[in-house]
Structure 1
Amino acid sequence: MLVGHTFTSASVGAQPPVAGPPPIPGLDLPGLQEWIDRIVPPPALGPVTNSPLVDADRLEPDLAALRAAVMPDPIGDAFVDYWPPNLDTFAPGEVIGVRDVTATGGPILFPPVRQVLQLKFRTTDAAGLPSYAIASLVVPTGEWAGNGDRPIVVNNVPINGLGRDCNPSYTFVHGITTETNLSEFIPPTTQLAVARGYAVLIPDHEGPRMAYAEPFVAGHAVLDAMRAVRGAFSDEFGDSVFGMIGYSGGAIATNAASKLMSTYAPELTGVVVGAALGGVPVDYELLARSMNANLASGVFFGATFAIGRERPEILAHMNHLAQWIAVSPMKNQCVDVFALPGIFHLPMDVAANFPDPLHSDLAEEIYRITRLEDRKSAVPLYIYHGQQEFWVPLEGARNLADEQCALGTDVVYRSVFGEHVVAAVTGYPEAILWLDARLRGEPAVSEC
C-alpha cells in the first residue's frame, strides 16, 4: 500500500465491467492488479460526517469516505473514544482528563503498587494537527529514598495493533484478555522499575487512529505523555528525570521521541537522560525488501495500512480487494490476527491499484519521511540488535548508530545473539542496566 501518483475519484469508484480476466502468464502482477479491480467491486461506503478523526474537509469525497471507513471502531470507553471538540485550545501535553484504574490495573502487576492512573492529553498527529493520546502511570508504594523526585521509566511497549483494545491502557482497565500483548509483561520492564522504586509511564503511542508504525504520531505521543505527567503531578514528578526504553514497535516510538525532542519538546532536553532501543525497524525501505512476499508480509501490510490512516495518500491507492479487507473487522485486530495472512506470502502488489508500488514516488517519499534521517537524538542512545535478524535487517540498526555518532550523539551499540524474538531477550539485560545507570545519574559514555 506504499504507492504513488495523484489520487482521483476513480481510484475508489467503480470500474467498467469486463467479460473475463486478462491473460496472466505466471504471476503477471500488473495484469493481476487490473483483473482484481475489474472483478472485485469496491465496498459500499456510507456518507461521511466530518470529524477530526477523519478530517474530511481536506480530502476528496471518495477518499474521505474510505478514510472514515478504515478507522478503528470505538471500544465503548468514552475516556478512550471521545475526541474533545476544543483540542486546539489545549497545549501539547496538557491534560484533558485523569482516571484511577488501580483496582483493575494494580493486581496484574508484581510487586504491588500505590496507584495506576491514566492520563488523556493533547498531542499532535502526523499532519501537525491537534490530536489526543492516553498513557498509564504506575506509581510504586513507599516514599522515594533517592535524590530529587522519583525517576520515571517510559516503557514504550510494542503495541503492534490496529484496534484500540490492543493498547496497554486497555489491559490496565480490563485485566488480561485475549487482546493483551505479552510484550506488556515480557521483558518485565514495568515490574523491575517498580521494584527499583521508579514510576513507570506506558503511552498508547499509536494515537486515536491506531497508526501502528507511524513515527511522528508515536514520538509526539511519548513526548506529550512526559509533559502531561510533569504538568499534572508537578508536586511529585515536576523535577523527575525520565529514561525511555522500547523494542521493535516500541523502538519506533523511542527513536522518534529521541529525534523529535529538540524541535517538538525542547524543554525535555536534559530531563530525559537516555533511551534504550532494540530490534530497531527505523528504515521502511529496508523492511520493504525483507518483509514483503514472505511470512512477515501480514505485519508489513498491517503497518502500511495503519500509516495510511494518518497519511491518506496511501489509502488512495489500495485496490478494491485491499479496500474490502481494510473496512472489514481486520481493521480492529491485534498483531496475532493481522499477521496471519503472511502464510500466503503475498507481495504488496496485490493490494495496490498500479504496478510496483514499493518503488513508486510516494513510497520513496514515505521512506524518507519515516526514516527521520539526519535528526540528532537529544539524548544518549543504547542500541541493540540481533545478529541473526532476517525480518528487521541489522543494517538499519547499524546505520542508525553510525548516523547518530556522526551527528555527535553519545551512542552505545551492541549486536546480540538471535533473531527478532530471541534478541529481545538476549539484548535486554545490558540495555536495562544501561538505562538504570542513567536514571541513577551516571553520565553516558559514548562508544562511537
Structure 2
Amino acid sequence: MALVGCLSFGQPWARADDETFGGPPAPPSAPAPSEFQRWIDRTVPALPFPAAPSPPTADLPPELAAVWRGVLPLPTGDPAFDAWPAGLDRLAPGDLVEWRDVTATTAPLAVVPIRRALLLKFRTTAASGVPSFGTATLVIPAAAWTGPGGRPVLTNALPINALGARCTPSYALAHGIHDKFNTGDLFPPTTWWGLSRGYAVLVPDHEGPWMSYAEPAVAGHVVLDAIRAVRAVSPAEFADSRFAVTGYSGGAIASYATAMLLGDYAPELSGVLAGAAAGGLVTDYRALAHKFNGNIASGILLAVSLAMAREHPELLATMNHLAQWVAASPVKDTCGDTNGPLGVIGIPIEIATNTADPLDSPAADRVLRQADLRDRTAGAPLLIYHGAHDFWLPIEGPRELYRQQCARGVPAVFRPEPGEHLLGALAGFPEVVDWLDARLRGVSAPTECPAAPQQPPASPPR
C-alpha cells in the first residue's frame, strides 16, 4: 500500500484569506532515506505511469501528476460520481450541479416505505481551499410529516472507510446491492430508524470525489455542503428544517468535522444544525499513527495514507517504487472490510517511503498539527461516546475532547460504552438515537459539563 513520508493524515484546510488558497503548498522537505529505503528503490524499478494532466485542484509537475492519476480509484462508470463538473469556480459551496431520482434502487434498501430518493451532486471545497464536488443521497419517507416546522433531516455519516469509489453509500443507493456493497451501510440501522420516525435521511459520501478516507476538511465540507444542497433542492420542505448529524469511527470523523468547521465554513447553518453525535472518534492522529504502525492494524494506516495523498498529491513524491506498484494495483479500489486484513503481518510505514523516520519528521509534525481540529469550538451541541475498552482508539482522547468543548461553552454529553470498538457502536446505539430524536424534534440540548447547568446525573440525555 502506498504511503507518504509525512503520514498525510491531512493537509490544513485553507480559508479564503490563506496565502496558500488557490493551490497546494510547497512540498515539505524530507529527511534523507535510510540505507534500507535506498535498497528498496535500487531493487524495485519505478512504475512507468503514463503521462497525465494535473488534478483540477493543483498544478503538479508532469511526473507527479502521472503518479496521482495512477493511484486514484477506478471510475465507477456513473458520471454522477466520475465526471468533474465545469464551472465550479462560478458556484458557491452547496450549489447544486445536478440531481437524479434514484427511488427505484433505494427503496429496497430503505426497508421503510419511501416517497422519493434523490442523488445530489453539488459544489464543495477541497482541503486546499479550491472548488471541488461532492455527492449525497436524500431519502424522504412516504409518511407525511405532522410535526411542527419543516421535516427534520437526519444526516447519517456512514463509516465508508474505503479506497474504491464504488464503495460509497450513494453508489449503492443508486445502483442497488453490488459486488462492493458495504454491509455497514445498513447496520446499525440508523437510516431505517430515521425514516421510521418520519425524518428525511441524508447520506453523504464524505470521502469526496477521490475517496480521501479520514481527511477531516474534505469530510466536514462535504457534509455541510450536502446540507446546503438539501435546503436548496426543495426549499418548501427543507428550508426551515432542523438537521442533526451522526457518525461512528470513520463516520465520526465526518460528524465531528462538521461541527468543528461549521463556524468558519458554513456560519449560516448555526442553529440549523441541532446537534452532532460522534462515536469511536479519532482525535489524535499522531498518537494513532504510532500505535498502528508496524502491527496488525497497519493496513488501516496504509490505506489512510494513500487516501490522504490523493487529496494532497504533492506528498506522493515521498512514495518509493514499491509503494507505487502497490498503490496502482487493485488495492486502490478496496472497500472498508478489506483494509484491515491488508496489514495483518504488521507492515511498517517506512517500507513504502523514501523518507527516514516519516512519522517524526518536521514535515509530519507540521501537517499533523495543522490537521488537528481540537483547538476549534464546535458549532453545535455534542454527544461523544466511545467504547470504554477500545484498545485501538483509547478513550482518553474523546474524553479530553469533551472536557475541552465544555470549557468553550459547548453543550456536551460524554458516554463511555461497554466493550471495545465494535461493541461500543452497538452499545451506544439506543442512547444515540434517543439523543438525535430529541434534537430533531427541537428539544434543547442537555449538557453534563461540570461548570454548566445540567440535568441530574442519573437522567439519560434527551
Q: Hey, what does 2:37 align to over in structure 1?
A: 33
Query: Shift of the alpha carbon at 1:62?
Result: 2.1
Letter in 2 for 1:229: V
Q: 2:4 & 2:359 partners in 1: Cα distance?
A: 6
Q: Hey, what does 1:181 align to over in structure 2?
A: 182
Q: 1:411 & 1:8 partners in 2: Cα distance?
A: 37
Q: 1:316 & 1:322 partners in 2: Cα distance?
A: 11
- Gaps (5+ residues) in structure 2? 8-25, 450-462
Query: Shift of the alpha carbon at 1:313?
Result: 3.6
CA distance 1:187–1:110, change in 2 (3 Å): same
Q: Aligned with 1:240: secondary structure? A: coil
Task: Write out aligned runs for 1:27-106 (5 A).
Answer: 30-52=34-56, 55=58, 57=59, 59-106=60-107
| 175-184 or 374-383, larger mean C-alpha shift | 175-184
**Contact 1:259–1:378, Cα closer than 8 Å, also in 2:** yes
**Contact 2:53–2:62, Cα closer than 8 Å, also in 1:** no
Task: Write out aligned runs for 1:31-430 (5 A).
Answer: 31-52=35-56, 55=58, 57=59, 59-430=60-431
Q: 2:330 & 2:319 partners in 1: Cα distance?
A: 17
**Contact 2:244–2:439, Cα closer than 8 Å, also in 1:** yes
CA distance 1:78–1:33, change in 2 (3 Å): same
Query: Shift of the alpha carbon at 1:346?
Result: 1.0
CA distance 1:10–1:92, change in 2 (3 Å): closer
Q: 1:399 & 1:44 partners in 2: Cα distance?
A: 47
Q: 1:214 & 1:44 partners in 2: Cα distance?
A: 28
Q: Aligned with 1:74: secondary structure? A: coil
Letter in 2 for 1:375: R
Query: Shift of the alpha carbon at 1:51?
Result: 4.6
Deviations 1:295-331 (A, max 9, x none): 1110111011111111124322111111111111211
Letter in 2 for 1:93: G
Q: Hey, what does 2:12 align to over in structure 1?
A: none
Query: Shift of the alpha carbon at 1:223?
Result: 0.1
Deviations 1:125-162 (A, max 9, x none): 00001000110001011211100010000000011111
Letter in 2 for 1:139: I
Deviations 1:395-436 (A, max 9, x none): 221221122112211110011111111111011111111111
Q: 1:369 & 1:268 partners in 2: Cα distance?
A: 24
Q: 2:273 & 2:201 partners in 1: Cα distance?
A: 14
**Contact 2:219–2:253, Cα closer than 8 Å, also in 1:** yes
Deviations 1:165-221 (A, max 9, x none): 010011112212231222211110110111100000000011111101000000000
| 337-346 or 159-168, larger mean C-alpha shift | 337-346
Q: 2:105 & 2:254 partners in 1: Cα distance?
A: 26
Query: Shift of the alpha carbon at 1:253?
Result: 0.5
Letter in 1 for 2:295: N
Q: Hey, what does 1:20 align to over in structure 2?
A: none
Letter in 1 for 2:38: E
**Contact 1:149–1:238, Cα closer than 8 Å, also in 2:** yes
Query: Shift of the alpha carbon at 1:49?
Result: 2.4
Q: 1:196 & 1:7 partners in 2: Cα distance?
A: 49
**Contact 1:387–1:394, Cα closer than 8 Å, also in 2:** yes
**Contact 1:9–1:62, Cα closer than 8 Å, also in 2:** no
Q: 1:109 & 1:8 partners in 2: Cα distance?
A: 46
Q: Structure 1 runs of 4+ off > 4 angstroms?
A: 4-11
CA RMSD, 1 decimal: 1.9
**Contact 2:84–2:133, Cα closer than 8 Å, also in 1:** yes
Deviations 1:11-49 (A, max 9, x none): 9xxxxxxxxxxxxxxxxx933212111101110011122
**Contact 1:9–1:60, Cα closer than 8 Å, also in 2:** no
CA distance 1:62–1:235, change in 2 (3 Å): same
Q: 1:7 & 1:319 partners in 2: Cα distance?
A: 16
CA distance 1:418–1:338, change in 2 (3 Å): same
Q: Aligned with 2:115: secondary structure? A: strand
Q: 1:330 & 1:359 partners in 2: Cα distance?
A: 27
Letter in 2 for 1:191: W
Query: Shift of the alpha carbon at 1:369?
Result: 2.2
TM-score using structure 1 length: 0.92
Q: 1:85 & 1:197 partners in 2: Cα distance?
A: 37
Q: 2:344 & 2:162 partners in 1: Cα distance?
A: 19
Q: Aligned with 1:427: secondary structure? A: helix
Q: 1:121 & 1:7 partners in 2: Cα distance?
A: 30
Q: 2:330 & 2:50 partners in 1: Cα distance?
A: 16
Q: 2:401 & 2:257 partners in 1: Cα distance?
A: 12
- Gaps (5+ residues) in structure 1? 12-28
Q: 2:332 & 2:5 partners in 1: Cα distance?
A: 19
| 312-321 or 248-257, larger mean C-alpha shift | 312-321
TM-score using structure 2 length: 0.89
Q: 2:98 & 2:195 partners in 1: Cα distance?
A: 24
Q: Aligned with 1:344: secondary structure? A: coil
Q: Aligned with 1:273: secondary structure? A: strand
**Contact 1:282–1:370, Cα closer than 8 Å, also in 2:** no
Q: 1:399 & 1:67 partners in 2: Cα distance?
A: 37
Relative contact order (C-alpha < 8 Å, sep 6+): which is higher?
2
Query: Shift of the alpha carbon at 1:61?
Result: 2.7
| 429-438 or 148-157, larger mean C-alpha shift | 429-438
Residues paired across the two proteins, number:
428
**Contact 1:286–1:396, Cα closer than 8 Å, also in 2:** no
**Contact 1:33–1:349, Cα closer than 8 Å, also in 2:** yes
Query: Shift of the alpha carbon at 1:10?
Result: 12
